[in-house]
Structure 1
């Protein structure tokens, strides 16, 4: 069928439109390609030339500056120092053994350094920079830089390394950093990429570990150009990382330094605490160690020496050490008896020096007995028989309830390592752990802080602070983060009759301020500083009948590790308390002779803000104390290096 002219015209018009559209699309595509080619060949020519030239552009992470840690007065206790180091990139270095051999001729590398470097280089990806050696002198770095053409893949760098200017004073609380280990990486579900940098430092214990995510900061990055032999030619751009947060602790560096020096020579722990807001002013564990040794990776002999020390310098005894609290627990039993209405303040109990319970004789520490005592005199003279009697009336359940109310048996949420909860033993606990029912004798033992009862020095300080303030105050270690105050929880009341707390405080005051008190020799004579307290002696081993027959008669005859622990808790001033203190001297013997004098010195140092004033000591003791203080000042200066801020 022949098509009409009209149909032919319509068909031609449609084809023309389609051709125009298709031509326009082709022109747009061609124009875009031309524009993009111009961009790549003219404006981005240098960039693509570099990228195409054997992939000579490397992107490397920049470790962030670790956040600083200060004491309550702003004194630096954990900072960063400039660190000259040498890094190697395996894919640029070629034969790593030959490269290490060339480097060894320029800087001091031990066989151990070489072996570690080879291990790190082979363990990590070939493009990852590995630190070969750090903490070099400028002269050594300059030698490497001058020989750079002969050292492909080897680059000197300036970085930051952790430092602890006050050395051992804060070692247990603040902790230390060390190189990232495989175990560290395995413990993290999604590890930060910066942790993949060989020998990157992270917190290992203490505050450094607990606040690791905040202190670490965020990594930056830099693009560098390297030539065909791996030598760094220039830095193309850099994005700086974000430094970690700065933390301020509640601890006072002067008091901490004094406490460490005062505990010197002992295996001991001491805690000083503000009774109103819970601020921990000092947490000293002795002996201590230098955390700077761990920053680079401590040597095997140094580490083994710390492990073999019988005084356990690596353990933080303030929160990890659990000890029978001994007679420092008697305030718990006293308040439990008052709460249960099983006694009155004036009731007197006769102490003949022992008490027979279920066929077992329980002795008082004074073999001849104390005669008739009431609650205040029983606390002051530390009469065991009085509390044996109260325990049988009250029972273990109510004693445990009061113990927890005063802060014992609780694991406090502090940014420290291995904080222990202590032990308030219950009937159920003994049945489950010992497979035996609870006995009356167990309650009698618990009433004087023996048997199964265990407490940490921190818990004993909290207990004392609660008795001093009448509130359920909680311990606080972090004061501020990046200058923002960390608000502490408002302490609630203890829900105890204030007259009962006053009665216990009076007994504690008499411990230190009456001649029959067990801490009379450690009294403070200045009214503004006068102290209340309680001594304690917890038995570790008893002298057996066979040993007595062989001539052993006293604790001094026993090996050191079998002697009793010495304890003291106290608060001051006794009228309007401000601070609480606890002291534990492992195997120190008697609390009145070994722990109470330390407690007195810590109280005076905390309240006076410096070396305890001689006028606060009884006159006959002042010559001895003056000599002791001269020795303490020498110890304090030795533990703090020149240049460390002791403002």
Structure 2
């Protein structure tokens, strides 16, 4: 009995063992199948995922494109930026290392606090910038003492450089760090996320930022699980941004800035045939390098508190009454409408009455009987009150728009203002009251609601001088800066103004400089073999009261600066073969003929001396021309 029981127990144990062994074999088969699936079938996928964890692709910032003047002179370039960075894990005491560094090169307290805060937030192997834009002597001094500065590393990068400083500040602009607002406004670009990457913030730098920015390169690196870079596996440099060639002549730009110095003023010099802006100046200016390297709060406060507004570009964004420089437009509107002829005369006794209001001429005793040419020469206000009333404000406005007034001209700069050219409908829509005849009188002498920019006045003068062609201004040259000899004026649309009307006005502008009673005769160029034509303007910033006229109007120098009239002048040269136009405005400068006219003459004299349109260029920036035997174009 006992043996039988033992045999039965043995059979039961054997079956259970077999079942258990079978189950284990089944589980092992499933595990083996899963392993085979993961290691063989999905091997490539997991290998790729592992490599992606090990390999990182990092963006490399491209070199920003240069900005050159019309002859290839660099006005915005890139220079070496000597930097100091600190790797916290390589030093026992960050504060002690910073103390030693300060003994060699002063470390601003603000930078010191920033570094210490970043050490707390970042991993120990992440480099932390300490200082940048060091001089070569500072860079060398730190390098010599590098064994005494654990954790300190020297790096050489690139930073934007503006060698002309404030001379090109309002044209070229500057670059700055990417802000949160920039990230929201700009098109998505991985470059914008790079630490220290800079984009255009103003001027040409901003207008052509994408072209100047270039495309990123890549660096393929091996990193561990903590993100520490072990080695660089491959590197592909980015594509540098495009170089831009401006129409501006750096020599003329320097001269204009120097000549207008100590004023609150703007000037524009323009080629009347191509539309090239040869000089565009707004003073006072600022140093764009300060914005690139980090402007101090003290310097910023000085700039924004300056009443002469150095940060604003007066040449394209300053809006001023054009004063008597507008009289040519009024004359053309009247001539083309047939309401006057050049021979028609008006008697100027010093004032004219309209109802209960008296409108004065700038000359107290009046000019007597004057025709169109004489009225422009002597800038007679009474003459233009009369013809403005005859032609009406709407036809004056239509003519003004033909000459670029009251409209944006599409210059290659952001922030351009369009000025204002009022009409009857405009006043009713904006002010809700009808237009008055006295307001037409004010428009006739470029006052009242009329506003213009110095750029618009230069374009107006260019279109007068080139025979009525609607040439448009430009700051950047086409085709890499090469001039193919075809002028834009030849392609620009004709404005449809009769040659006789234009000549009548241009003769008056000639007499302004060369006539016996011309308002600009005191500023005409001397010892030159060419002549110029121009027109002065003095724009009131406040109305002269009746009491002031009775007691005597204060002279300009007796008034507070902000109450003085604006001084304006427009001109072109040479008179017989026009090529260059200029406009100048001096804020609160007083008399246009005494203050602005000499500046305009000086600019034209220097422009004619340099002759940037015909002057031979260098290399790819050379003009297409045939040199004469004497070597001059």
Normalising by the smaller structure, the TM-score range is 0.7 to 0.9
CA contact (8 A) 1:340 1:394 kept: yes
Contact conserved, 1:510 with 1:517, CA < 8 A, in 2? yes
Q: 1: distance between equivalents of 2:163 and 2:433? A: 52
Superposition TM-score, scaled by structure 2 size: 0.82
Residue among 199, 210, 216 paired with 2:196: 199
Matched, 1:299 2:296: yes
Equivalent residue, structure 1, for 2:176: 178
Corresponding residue for 1:168?
166
| CA distance in structure 2 between the aligned counterparts of 1:327 and 1:548, rounded to whole angstroms | 21
Which of 459, 464, 471 is the aligned partner of 1:462? 459
- Tell me, yes or no, if the aligned pair for 1:536 and 1:567 is still in contact at 8 Å: yes
Q: Distance in 1 between matches of 2:141 and 2:216?
A: 28
CA RMSD for the aligned pairs? 3.5
Match of 1:565? 566
Q: How far is 1:557 from its partner?
A: 1.5
Is 1:495 paired with 2:496? yes
Any residues of structure 2 matched to 1:101-120 within 5 Å, and which?
A: 102-103=97-98, 105-106=100-101, 108-116=106-114
1:311 deviates by 1.3
Aligned counterparts of 2:426 and 2:120: Cα–Cα separation in 1: 52
Higher radius of gyration, 1 or 2: 2
Q: Confirm or deny: 8 A CA contact 1:408 1:463 kept in the other structure.
A: yes
Q: Secondary structure at the match of 2:101?
A: coil
Q: Which range moves more in the overlay, 339-348 or 139-148? A: 139-148
Structure 1 counterpart of 2:382? 385
CA contact (8 A) 1:128 1:197 kept: no
For structure 1, the residue ranges without an aligned partner over 5 or more in a row are 1-25, 612-647
Note if contact 2:334-2:340 (Cα within 8 Å) is conserved in structure 1: yes
Relative to structure 2, which stretch is displaced further, 602-611 or 355-364?
A: 602-611
The farther-off stretch of 517-526 and 398-407 is: 517-526
Measured after TM superposition, the shift of residue 111 of structure 1 is 2.7
Would the alpha carbon gap of residues 131 and 434 (structure 1) be closer, same or farther in structure 2, given more than 3 Å must change?
A: farther
Note if contact 1:131-1:198 (Cα within 8 Å) is conserved in structure 2.
no
3-state SS in 1 of match to 2:522? helix
SS in 2 for 1:432: helix
SS in 2 for 1:204: strand
Q: Name the counterpart of 2:420.
A: 423
Q: Equivalents in 2 of 1:186, 1:377: separation in Å?
A: 58
In structure 2, the CA distance between the partners of 1:157 and 1:426, relative to structure 1 (3 Å rule), is same
1:636 matched residue in structure 2: none
Secondary structure in 2 matching 1:529? coil
User: What secondary structure sits across from 2:595 in the alignment?
Assistant: helix
Question: 2:583 — aligned with what?
Answer: 582
2:245 is matched with which residue?
A: 248
TM-score (norm 1): 0.80
The corresponding residue for 1:439 is: 436
Change (3 A) 1:186 1:352: same
Q: Counterpart of 1:620?
A: none
User: Matched residue of 1:376: which SS?
Assistant: helix
Partners of 1:452 and 1:337 lie apart in 2 by: 20
1:399 maps to: 396
Q: Is the 8 A contact 2:64 2:240 kept in 1?
A: yes
Following superposition, the deviation at residue 446 of structure 1 comes to: 0.4
Q: Distance in 1 between matches of 2:92 and 2:426?
A: 60
Q: CA 1:367/1:127 → structure 2, altered by over 3 Å: closer, same or farther?
A: farther
SS in 1 for 2:504: helix
The 1:481–1:185 alpha-carbon spacing in structure 2 relative to 1, beyond 3 Å, is farther
Q: Deviations over 1:447-480 (max 9, x none)?
A: 1100000000000000000000021111011014
Name the counterpart of 1:285: 282
Residue 344 of structure 1 pairs with residue 341 of structure 2: yes
Is the CA contact (8 Å cut-off) linking 1:171 and 1:290 kept in structure 2? yes
Deviations 1:607-647 (A, max 9, x none): 11189xxxxxxxxxxxxxxxxxxxxxxxxxxxxxxxxxxxx
Is the 8 Å Cα contact of residues 84 and 141 (structure 1) preserved in structure 2?
no
**Is 2:372 the partner of 1:359?**
no
| 8 Å CA contact retained: 1:103, 1:144 | no
CA contact (8 A) 1:446 1:452 kept: yes
Q: Which runs of 5+ in 2 are unaligned?
A: 1-31, 613-633
In the TM superposition, residue 182 of structure 1 has moved relative to its aligned partner by 1.9
Partner of 2:630: none
The structural deviation recorded for 1:529 is: 2.5
Distance 1:97 1:335 in 2: 81
**Equivalent in the alignment of 2:220:** 223
Provide the rounded CA distance (Å) in 2 between the counterparts of 1:326 and 1:535: 8
Distance (Å, rounded) in 2 between the aligned partners of 1:527 and 1:240: 54
Structure 1 residues 144 and 551: alpha-carbon distance in aligned structure 2, compared to 1, 3 A threshold: farther
Alpha-carbon separation, structure 2, partners of 1:582 and 1:345: 26
Cα distance change of structure 1 residues 327 and 119 upon mapping to structure 2, 3 Å threshold:
farther
Is the contact between residue 89 and residue 125 of structure 2 (CA under 8 Å) also seen in structure 1? no
The answer to whether the aligner puts 1:376 opposite 2:373 as a matched pair is yes
**Separation (CA, whole Å) in 1 of partners of 2:347 and 2:124:** 81
Q: Structure 1 residues 542, 32: closer, same or farther in 2, change over 3 A?
A: closer
Q: Secondary structure at the match of 1:366?
A: coil
Deviation larger for 224-233 or 503-512: 224-233
* Aligned CA distance change for structure 1 residues 304 and 549 (closer, same or farther; 3 Å): farther
Of the three residues 210, 213, 222, the one matched with 1:213 is 210
Is the contact made by 2:246 and 2:481 (CA closer than 8 Å) also made in structure 1? no
Q: 1:441 to 1:544 in 2, by over 3 A?
A: closer
- Secondary structure at 2:333 match in 1: helix
Q: Matches of 2:439 and 2:132 in 1, distance apart?
A: 58
Q: Shift in Å at residue 166 of structure 1?
A: 1.0
Alignment partners' CA distance in 1, 2:37 and 2:55: 31
CA contact (8 A) 2:81 2:158 kept: yes
1:126, distance to aligned residue in structure 2 (A): 11
